[in-house]
Structure 1
Amino acid sequence: MPGVVGGPRVLLRRLREVMAGPGTAQERLDRIVRNIAANMVADVCSIYLLRAGRRLELFATEGLNPDSVHKATLKVGEGLVGTIADTATPLSLPDAQAHPKFAYLPETGEEIFHSLMGVPIIRAGRVVGVLVVQNRTMREYDEDEIDAMQTIAMVLAELIGQGDLVDPAELSETEARRREPYTYDGVGLAEGLALGVAVLHEPRVAVDRLIAEDPQVELNRLAVAMSSLRKRIDAMLDDQDVLAGEQRDIIEAYRMFAHDRGWREKIEEAIKSGLTAEAAVERVQMETRARMGSITDPYLRERLSDLEDLANRLLRHLAGKTETAAGDELPDEAILVARTMGPAELLDYDRTRLKAVVLEEGSPTSHVAIVARGLGIPLVGGCERVLERVEPGDMVVADGDTGQVIFRPTPEVAAAFTENLRIRTERRAEYAQYRNMPAVSKDGVAVKLYMNAGLTVDLPHLDETGADGIGLFRTELQFMVSATMPRLATQIELYANALAAAGERPLIFRTLDVGGDKVLPYMGAQREENPALGWRAIRLVLDRPALLRYQLRALLIAGAGKVLSIMFPMVADVAEFRQARQILEVERRRLERLGRPLPQAIRVGTMLEVPALAYQLPALLPLVDFISIGSNDLLQFFFAADRGNPKVAGRYDLLAPAALKLLRDICAACTAAGVPVSLCGEMAGRPLEAMTLIGLGFRSISMNAVSIGPVKAMLRGLDVGEFRAYIDRLIDGPDRTLRGKIESFARDHGVPI
């Protein structure tokens, strides 16, 4: 069976000589197809390039009718050449005319040729053309020949893209297509709108040198980089305190692939064919992408995606660039794009320049989403395979409210979003005027508007927003962004800084709410079928009392001489609260025995997030100093609908009468018992929902800092008495949701929502 004469290295060397030689672009392209045909022992070699209207135009041929050049065309998806372009996968056929997709082009004279092998010409992840060889005989092309063709196509893609073989004007339409806008409908994980330029969290390595001078040198470079990569992965897995759960599974997959002999041998073969180590990795990576396109099984796609990620890591090791973009100077309006991120990684970035984050993965309860919301950085997740399409420097619009991301927006779209940003900026300026105004309604009802916090970077927002205090300080964020358990002194410092920032304003610390989906990397994961309902929060720390005691000790020391408010999360039974409060008392007595200064007063409360606790209020209320309703968990448990699952999250409405009656009854019971009650879920930060809570009787709500202004503006335009009478008439009615009617009330009465 004929093969590649002299091997791919000889052909690549000849292609380089043609590229550097004299003549017009067309003359050099003609010489290239002649060289490929001769070296592949083919009767025909043709190059088709993508043109306007998704047409593939014959640009050069050896063996077909030369008059058909620039005249013969096929649409993407039409014929065998169009199929190769459409699927981005090679095609090898001993009898091409028997294939159902065969399309005869009479002007080419190709009817006498039977066998065909074609490969896509891919540049920057996009098909820009097709390279084809044909033979008169019914010939079987072997894998080595297909590999050689793909290597040649890779080199052609770079030459074409650089304009070395084709006049730039001839490819203007193709390049224009590369700049076409495209949109992802993801999931909004942190609110806000941003317009900026794309920055890759893990920058790609640009492969500038494709053809190797000395293959042995490239093989040695690969061996060094592969060894470095393997050592780094092994070290991550050997450190039991760093990885857990899904993170560990991902790195285990990396190690499996990194030690896979077949993967390495493919890269080595590509190097032996004449490519540099980087080009060889990219060559094998292209094959992986092609395989991903034809696989529907989600598990296999995920494994191939892991292999793609590993190839990117290997490229960075070859280039000596193993760090993320956090160490680089960001552009002024940076929008970070990544597959996934940890919360500590996000905190590494310059937040004066970082305007938004776009992730392939992510959920509303992911660590990075929680931190992004705290920092006020818009975040969109669920943009599947976005890294395959985005180019560094692309203009990006990211809408954390709707979950929509637009890459390379048209000038009209960019202008519309710029105007939207301007309006939002003006609104923020309007809200700023309310900072020092009291949170009082039109009819004189005062409502305490607290903010949620969890990190040192949140604390300045207290003064910036004019919040009445911190209604929820999430202490777990410090544990989540740290690679190891925070030391006692570190915890004390954070809690003391928070109390100092609050001054005389109230501040409520929530003890560790970890477990479930909030896996601490140094604690080890527990595989659970329903993690949200599993071993988490108060359940976890009561089973590991040393962890709770350690934290309570830090809180008591930090609160010396001040009013210290502590609440326990995820309490489902009064007995759990009693047990947790007893542990607090043990720690208080310990410090007292040691002669350490104690808080001036200790207030102890609980989160109400489990519906069962709502039916234990008569037994609970005499024991607590306050209650804070966590509406996020309470209502997802109430409706048995995972708020992080887009397929079911929209099946219920927070303003459904059943949910509102539950909240009203809890509020009424606490008020009757003289126990302060607040609500600190996401609904508190939305003006319409906050308006409804106030109408139900709540006089204290806690929200993200950015929501204080809009909610205060709403309150100052609301007549609470009038609205309460209105909602009382509706709440026992048959409506599935009261949202529309509440919106109508706000609109009719001029309440800004």
Structure 2
Amino acid sequence: MPISVGAPRLLLRRLREVMAERESAQARLDKVVVLIASNMVAEVCSLYLRRRDSSLELFATEGLNPEAVHNTHLKAGEGLVGLIAEHGEPMQFADAQVHPAFSYRPETGEEVYHSFLGVPILRGGHTIGVLTVQNRTQRHYSDEEVEALQTTAMVIAEMIASGGLVVSEEGGQEARREQSARFTGVTISEGVALGHVVLHEPRIVVTKLIAEDVELERRRLAQAIDELTGMIDGMLERGDLQRAGEHREVLEAFRMFAHDRGWRSRLDEALLTGLTAEAAVQRVRNDTRARMLRQIDPYARERLHDIDDLSNRLLRVLAGGAGTAAAGNLPQDTILIARTMGPAELLDYDRQRLRGLVLEEGGSASHVAIVARALGIAAISQAKGVLDAVEPGDAAIVDAEGGELHVRPTPEVVSAYADKVRFRARRQAQYAALRNVPAVTLDGARVSLNINAGLVFDLPHLDQSGADGIGLFRTELQFMIASTFPRLEQQTRIYKAILDAAGERPVTFRSLDVGGDKVLPYFRVNKEENPALGWRAIRMALDRPALFRTQVRALLRAAHGRELRIMLPMIGDVAELTAARTLIDREVTILKRHARPEPKKLLVGAMIEVPALLYQLDRVLPLADFASVGSNDLMQFLFATDRGNMLVADRFDALNPAALLALRVIVEAAARHNVPLNLCGEMAGKPLEAMALIGLGFRSISMAPASVGPVKAMVLSLDATDLWVRLQELLACTSTSVREELKSYAAEKGVQI
């Protein structure tokens, strides 16, 4: 006899009553199967849970032999129960015993039962158990009965996950999460950190599963979906993204799912079974993940993250907020884990508590990576699948030297890394001892080692690292973390603080380099097919001269009585440098006209990062007071590889002879015109790459503060003249990289890399 329409809701209410009783886990499970059998008008109800070895153990039954509980075990894939667990889908059989997969277990006494219905107990899309009902007569279970059993299985899964039905350490996916796990990634900020996991976007634990008022839950869910879709649409319209490429695609996927009628229909169906809005979201998420996990299509499997992210966001909206963990109580040794995040979001966290960062997406040249290095925290990216495997509070070790994350590490691993941390501390102490030692090569060449900065809290690194100055101050970072465009007074105050902290040491301010992958949340721009090649940096400044002139005015005011160095990014043609200098000269004239204090000396430089400039050096350099190579963009454009695209970012080596030959051309041109030359970019901060730069003739390089010590140790052990001779030979080779040859040279000559 099919169940009545109201029976599922009645069953859920009875389950809630069972959960409120003070009894042992086993007693609760025993009552649960009795309730289900009664509600489904079934003679048997059995509950199997997956053990650590993937076998399925009978944990409770109504109708089968009670002695079989905890004594009946099915291997992975064995029997009809194993078949359901393997496929993650409901299955029913009018005469189960004739099915080829039927596994007869005499201790259960089930041979008298014919019809069989089983549904997987899903958690996070993974099968943690199977719930079955059986009848003596051959019958077909209705769609309503299948739906009711699935809903009940979902409630049981959440009860197990929340500790309400903790029946054994052996049971389920949660038990597997007690095991150690290791993930590999790409280092974006070096270091080693031991701590405990915090999720950037906290998961909402659904504790209230059974609805008291179904119509109220439907209204709550509809309102939350409208709010969520409005948020997503707003972000897409504003361009409020870290990157206009892959992260925009993520939001586009969110919008697609959020507007999908099928998804909304499944949510409504789950609500009608008597679940709360939160439980309905969890139910649909579990079912969708289970289907996708079993698909061969890699694209479909990649959408798992989108389903999880969207569901988590919706749950947070239902819970009354969509904030991040930054506003919560963080442990003293926070290891922050996120799918992706922007630089402003990272800056929201208490730097005293933040030890490490792990991202599933993002490259070493991303802006969140730049901020991570500025904060001095160990960070890796591209740690695929980590969000599925961690829980808040898990012990974790970020090895951002080896590009690894260890979750729930064994005591042996913890001990090994404790030794590594102590060794690293001793090594850092050795670098600190070099802080006041000039960076001079063995053959007497003085190399200026500067730091890259972009925020006020970078300034203490100038003294701590022993750097010679700030070779690149990224003014755009202050704009990116602000909620509105910083006014003249705000900019002046920030620039003055930077110059005050630097004292007599030089500071090179790069004019506003926004556009492309650096989008200001309050600045509306059009979507571009190739943003890195689009309307950005000096191009935007010349088209919006008011913005550029305001920044120049703030810099001039802040630098009164001192030297001011302004560097212009993305110069692609001599005319752009000339036009920018004209605007700067106009501001200087206005300053003098009003008798305002002015800089003691003004130097205007050009960044060399657009390949076309390599063929205009003899025209550009005479117009510049100094020049700086932006190696990140120059390499990206030379090899036509998007540094934010992980499929191609590492395809070409910066130590490719073609890249080094281009750099040599710049060095030679700067020497011809007697123009001071610097290089700022990722190359400068790696001892091996920095060694190559010095061999090419660079005598000023700029890097992350943490890199100054290792690079200085390399400089002090290097004979630059000898390396120059070796490099000329290497640049004539036909290999795609001279990395291994340079490593061999360093080993042969005792250069510390």
Deviation at 1:496, TM superposition (A): 1.4
Structure 2 Cα separation of the partners of residues 487 and 173 of structure 1: 56
Distance in 1 between residues matched to 2:488 and 2:358, nearest whole Å: 35
Contact map agreement 1:5 1:39 (CA 8 A) in 2: no
C-alpha spacing 1:411/1:532, structure 2 compared with 1 (3 Å): same
Alpha carbons 1:605, 1:625 under 8 Å: kept: yes
Q: Give the TM-score normalised by the residue count of structure 2.
A: 0.90
Corresponding residue SS for 1:678: strand
Q: Name the counterpart of 1:47.
A: 47
Q: Deviations over 1:343-393 (max 9, x none)?
A: 222111110110112223323343322322222223323334433332110
Displacement after TM superposition at 1:55 (Å): 0.9
CA 462–204 in structure 1, closer or farther in 2 if over 3 Å, else same: same
Deviation for aligned residue 1:235:
6.6
Question: Which residue in the other structure is 2:743 paired with?
Answer: 743
**In 2, distance between residues paired with 1:12 and 1:426?**
60
Do the aligned partners of residues 146 and 441 (structure 1) sit closer, same or farther apart at CA in structure 2, a change above 3 Å counting?
Answer: same
Q: In structure 1, what is the Cα distance between the partners aligned to 2:747 and 2:22?
A: 73
Deviation at 1:451, TM superposition (A): 0.5
Answer yes or no: is the 8 Å Cα contact 2:472–2:510 preserved in 1. yes
How far did 1:82 drift? Answer: 2.7
Partner of 2:441: 441
Alignment of 1:516-531 (within 5 A): 516-531=516-531
Q: Which amino acid aligns with 1:521?
A: P
Question: Which residue pairs with 1:716 in the alignment?
Answer: 716
Tell me the equivalent position of 1:313: 313
Task: Identify which range, 351-360 or 529-538, moves more after superposition.
Answer: 529-538
CA 226–421 in structure 1, closer or farther in 2 if over 3 Å, else same: farther
Alpha-carbon contact 2:123-2:286 (below 8 Å) kept: no
Aligned length: 748
What is the percentage of aligned positions where both structures have the same residue? Answer: 55
Amino acid of the structure 2 residue aligned with 1:104? S
Quick one: which amino acid aligns to residue 240 of structure 2?
Answer: L
What is the CA–CA distance in structure 2 between the aligned matches of 1:664 and 1:97, rounded to whole Å?
79
Query: Residues 617 and 99 of structure 1: is their aligned pair in 2 closer, same or farther, counting only changes over 3 Å?
Result: farther
| Partner of residue 459, structure 1 | 459
SS at match of 1:53: coil
Aligned with 2:439: secondary structure?
Answer: coil
Q: 1:608 Cα deviation (Å)?
A: 0.8
The match for 2:195 is 196
Residues 246-275 of structure 1 deviation map (CA, whole Å, 9 limit, x = unaligned): 777766766776677765665565455444
Aligned residue identity for 1:586: R
Cα pair 2:2 2:142 within 8 Å, conserved: no
Contact 2:479–2:520 (8 Å) recurs in 1: yes
Q: Which amino acid aligns with 2:195?
A: G
When structure 1 is superposed on structure 2, of 361-370 and 445-454 the one drifting more is 361-370
Calculate the TM-score normalised by the size of structure 1.
Answer: 0.90
8 Å CA contact 1:233–1:251 kept in 2: the answer is no
Matches within 5 A, 1:41-190: 41-64=41-64, 68-92=68-92, 102-107=101-106, 108=108, 115-123=115-123, 126-135=126-135, 139-160=139-160, 167-168=167-168, 171=170, 176-190=175-189
Partner SS state of residue 648, structure 2: helix
Contact 1:87 1:293 in 2 (8 A): no
Q: What displacement does 1:593 show?
A: 2.7
Give me the whole-angstrom Cα distance separating, in 2, the residues matched to 1:518 and 1:93.
58
Shift of 1:424: 1.4
Measured on the aligned residues, the alpha-carbon RMSD in Å equals: 3.2
CA separation of 1:372 and 1:276: change in aligned 2, threshold 3 A: same
Alpha-carbon distance, 1:458 to partner: 0.7
Q: Which runs of 5+ in 1 are unaligned?
A: none
Q: Is the 8 A contact 1:222 1:318 kept in 2?
A: no
Classify 1:167/1:242 alpha carbon distance in 2 versus 1 (closer, same or farther; 3 Å). closer
With over 3 angstroms needed to count, the CA separation of the structure-2 counterparts of 1:582 and 1:25, relative to structure 1, is closer
Q: Which residue of 2 aligns with 1:692?
A: 692
Aligned partners of 1:381 and 1:303: how far apart in 2? Answer: 19
Which range is displaced more, 364-373 or 503-512? Answer: 364-373
Does the aligned pair in 1 maintain the 2:43–2:133 contact within 8 Å? yes
The match for 2:337 is: 337
Which residue is equivalent to 1:544?
544
5 Å-filtered alignment, 1:1-400, equals 2-3=2-3, 7-16=7-16, 26=26, 29-64=29-64, 68-92=68-92, 102-107=101-106, 108=108, 115-123=115-123, 126-135=126-135, 139-160=139-160, 167-168=167-168, 171=170, 176-212=175-211, 215-216=212-213, 219-220=215-216, 223-224=219-220, 227=223, 230-231=226-227, 234=230, 237=233, 243=240, 266-267=266-267, 270-271=270-271, 273-294=273-294, 305-400=305-400
The 5 Å alignment of 1:412-491 reads: 412-491=412-491
How far, CA to CA, are the matches of 1:340 and 1:649 in structure 2? 17
SS in 2 for 1:426: helix
CA distance in 1, matches of 2:460, 2:75: 58
Which sits farther off after the overlay, 5-14 or 632-641?
A: 5-14
Contact preservation (8 Å) 2:567, 2:606? yes
How far, CA to CA, are the matches of 1:445 and 1:611 in structure 2? 29
Q: Does 1:634 align with 2:634?
A: yes
Matched AA of 1:184: F
Q: Say if 2:48 and 2:58, in contact at 8 Å, map to a contact too.
A: yes
Moved more, 307-316 or 20-29: 20-29
**CA displacement 1:492-550 (0-9 Å, x = unmatched):** 12211111111111111111222222222222343333322222222222232232222
Q: How many Å apart are 1:40 and its aligned residue?
A: 1.6
* CA–CA separation in structure 2 for the residues paired with 1:401 and 1:235: 38
Instruction: Give the CA deviation at 1:57.
Output: 1.6
Provide closer, same or farther for how the CA distance between residues 701 and 25 of structure 1 changes in structure 2, counting only shifts above 3 A. closer
In 1, Cα distance between equivalents of 2:721 and 2:125: 61
